[in-house]
A and B are shown apart, each in its own frame.
Chain A
């Protein structure tokens, strides 16, 4: 009987079974950022322990960094305090820090892959729920809380309960104007925001096989929005080619040995799954969220659901979402006016995302009254985009071109919605208040659809702008 990548990786990293029945799991790579780590370092100090494997630990800054004025000290004194804390912690505990003046700085889930730190068959942890992104490489990557960040710093291990595996096959091909973001929004819409609790998601099938690494990262990134703590794609030639030549990837003969091992970690053809779900690529359209969870979505040609389709508590949540978002049941989603548009985040802030948005922006103008932001996911993404002239396309069209960071994904930095502004966003969460205003309204969609909304001033089917 064959095994899945999750099981193989779990076994390879299992130190022992704990008295509670949990597994003590070794973590191959620990990524650290400024928001969820200061309390963890403080706990180490209080216990008098050191970082156990500083060579397996890398830190960066992303959540709080301003993406316009980055001079120190930051204007926001709380943000400055957090910056100083991570600088001091990195120095004291001897771990490398890619800080704001380092060309390697960026969103933690963008830089891990781009530096070649993220590799197949590895266990990865980071104090951020979107750590599932790294699963695109066939890594088992967990988002963890601060006490667990402390555990990994001190022992390089986590106490974990075993996960079941659900295989999600997306067959056939995607149609024009449909992207990885639409695929994952569709999956979450089908399986629900808590459908993945207790599972790791293994994504496969023709559509996933045909995806680039950046597209796979978009899919895996939002696993957690479907309730699955871990999501992954089996490593293949696309994965190996992406890794080749990256600064932290193995080189030369090491690379060949690595490829052989990575390949061996992929799920066996006869692997058994706890559940299998089938979907068709052609059933997926440009998808947009209308509500306050990532599962409340509809295709751009669709309408907002009728309350009568729901019962009991679910009906109450739908009503709450409609009230908050200012939508009427049965209303069509296309044509919804937007005030702000945001291309960026660890979901869709990579070079290919910016290219797709730029294709739509090229030769057009941001609609009057719309504030449009483009925020590269890392300094390297920004430099690569500028080398292609993407920044000029955006700027000519009236988009603001920013520095690297999380920006308007979560409002811990100066980029925030005001009042009940409506935002077309390429990020991953449309929770109430997520983008910084307690009444701000977020609609999630692909970067191309965000750019289409920016130039039309309303939710628009991007396919109508393509020729």
Chain B
């Protein structure tokens, strides 16, 4: 049996969230960060953007969607892991965008949520196709670096290291970091600010 952490492919219905520079304050407003757990954050995803209606997260057709399709610089702003946590708890399992903000991308990887990028043209074609037929499956093939949908197949990018982590199921960084404890101790002991001059 394959390790359940392996993320070679995510297959699910898509939800387009259009717009550039969608920031983490919009994904999860700061008032919901007043919590000591990540539970229930899914209920508040995009809450302020949803006021007044018309947000894809409220469309009956997109309920149960698992692949979020966004435009440029998605997830910019704060380092709050609450943002991917909120989207994950709403049901999202993978992201496709023209580009991602770096901390958001890293936070997603630590949660085993693949983020792949495609050209603006391809992303828009995919968004349009999902809007025309929200029931179709979108296949995010991390292993093959492609996304397949009704309209065909598009090439997507994901950095080698991250792809490797997802495909092998080794995206939980803590396990790997804990493995090198003796090397860590050795490095810590020879840092100039630990040996040649005292700092704390």
Contact = CB atoms under 8 A, between A and B. Distances in A.
Partners in one complex: yes
Interface of A: 12-13, 15-16, 18-22, 24, 26, 28, 35-36, 38-39, 42, 47, 49, 52-53, 55-56, 63-64, 76, 78-79, 81-82, 85, 117, 119, 121-122, 127-129, 131, 143-148, 150-151, 154-159, 161, 193-194, 197-198, 224, 227, 229, 248-250, 254-255, 257-258, 261, 292-293, 313-314, 316-317, 320, 410-412, 429, 431-434, 436, 438
6 contacts: A18-B176, A24-B184, A38-B37, A128-B79, A129-B77, A412-B30
Nearest to A256: B197
Given A78-B35, A194-B73, A145 B107 contact: yes
B80 A145 contact: yes
Most buried by B among A35, A117, A127: A35
Contacts of A432: 23, 25-26, 48-49
B191 A150 contact: no
Interface string B70-102: 011100111111101000000000000001011
B199 to A, nearest CB: 6
Contacts of B77: 129, 429, 431
Q: Can you list the 6 inter-chain pairs with the closest CB atoms, starting with the nearest?
A: A145-B81, A145-B107, A21-B161, A254-B197, A38-B36, A438-B48
A248 B199 contact: yes
B34 to A, nearest CB: 4
B159 interface: yes
Interface in B44-80: 48-49, 51, 71-73, 76-80
B160 interface: yes
A150 B26 CA distance: 25
Given A78-B34, A154-B174, A55 B79 contact: no
Contact of B19 (A76, A156, A317): A317
B174 A198 contact: no
Interface in B167-200: 168, 170, 173-174, 176-178, 180-181, 183-184, 187-188, 191-193, 196-200
Interface of B: 19-21, 23, 25-26, 29-31, 33-38, 48-49, 51, 71-73, 76-82, 84, 99, 101-103, 106-107, 110-111, 120, 159-162, 164-165, 168, 170, 173-174, 176-178, 180-181, 183-184, 187-188, 191-193, 196-200
Contacts of B76: 193-194, 227, 293
Contact of B178 (A49, A193, A292): A49
Nearest to B178: A155
A293 B107 contact: no
Given A145-B106, A154-B178, A412-B30, A316 B19 contact: yes
Contacts of B36: 38-39, 42, 81-82, 85
Given A148-B110, A429-B77, A156 B193 contact: no
Contacts of B168: 19
Contacts of A155: 174, 177-178, 181, 184
A451 to B, nearest CB: 26
B29 A146 contact: no
B126 to A, nearest CB: 15
Contact of A156 (B111, B188, B192): B188
A249 B19 contact: no
A140 to B, nearest CB: 13
A39 B200 contact: no
A313 B97 CA distance: 14
A148 B197 contact: no
Most buried by A among B51, B79, B81: B79
Nearest to B160: A21
B72 A144 contact: no
Contact of B199 (A49, A148, A250): A250
Nearest to A293: B21
A19 B176 contact: yes
A248 B48 contact: no
A249 to B, nearest CB: 7
Given A129-B79, A254-B198, A313 B120 contact: yes
B31 A411 contact: yes
